[in-house]
Structure 1
Amino acid sequence: MVDITPAFSKAQEESKKLTSKPTNDELLELYGLFKVGTGEDFSKAEKPGMFDLKGKYKYQAWKDLVDESVTPEAAQERYVAKVEELKNKYGFDANKVPEAVKS
């Protein structure tokens, strides 16, 4: 089990309160960092189907970090730094109600 730092938890909440949507590449980077940062086991990840393009991109973003041997602790630090970068780039509203996530 991976220890989740308070900064990582806070960044997860703050990532939902950006005033503009980041690019797909930025969102994929956050996704991969989140998966590694929470210590999810990539070896148990289900490979997406042939027509699941979104799933393939997410899977690849996660796999790239696993292949780089990024530790959960390093992934959490990078996630926090990325959210800070996105807050500066896209704006941040602490009072924003996060949108419901679409599946």
Structure 2
Amino acid sequence: MALDQQFEEAVAASKTLSEKPSNEILLKLYALYKQGTSGDAEGDGPSNPFDFVAKAKHEAWAELKGKTKDAAMQEYINLVQQLKG
């Protein structure tokens, strides 16, 4: 099965987990998803300094700078499989 197809299946599976992951895991899933679909984060993030959620999301994504899309997709797949575990 192609990586793209496995990734899409993992994205679908992440929405049907029996338990909601912690905020830390949700941030990691978000960052890996964005890196796998869009590549490196650009810019400084949200302009509103009080939008803490958007800021945390952007920072988590920016930490993955340089990671290839394929590597991010594979990590996302592995993480979702662990969560389904």
Residue-pair matches, total: 82
Q: Does 1:79 align with 2:76?
A: yes
Question: Where do 1:1-103 residues align within 5 Å?
Answer: 5-40=4-39, 42-43=41-42, 47-48=45-46, 49-66=48-65, 69-88=66-85
Q: Where in structure 1 are there 5+ consecutive unaligned residues?
A: 89-103
Q: Name the structure where helix makes up a greater proportion of residues.
A: 2
User: Of the two, which has the highest radius of gyration?
Assistant: 1
Q: CA RMSD, aligned part only?
A: 1.5
* TM-score after normalising by structure 1: 0.74
Kindly state the Cα deviation for residue 40 of structure 1 after the two structures are TM-superposed.
Answer: 4.3
- The unaligned stretches of length 5 or more in structure 2 are none
Counterpart Cα distance in 1 of 2:12 and 2:44: 26
Letter in 2 for 1:19: S
TM norm structure 2: 0.89
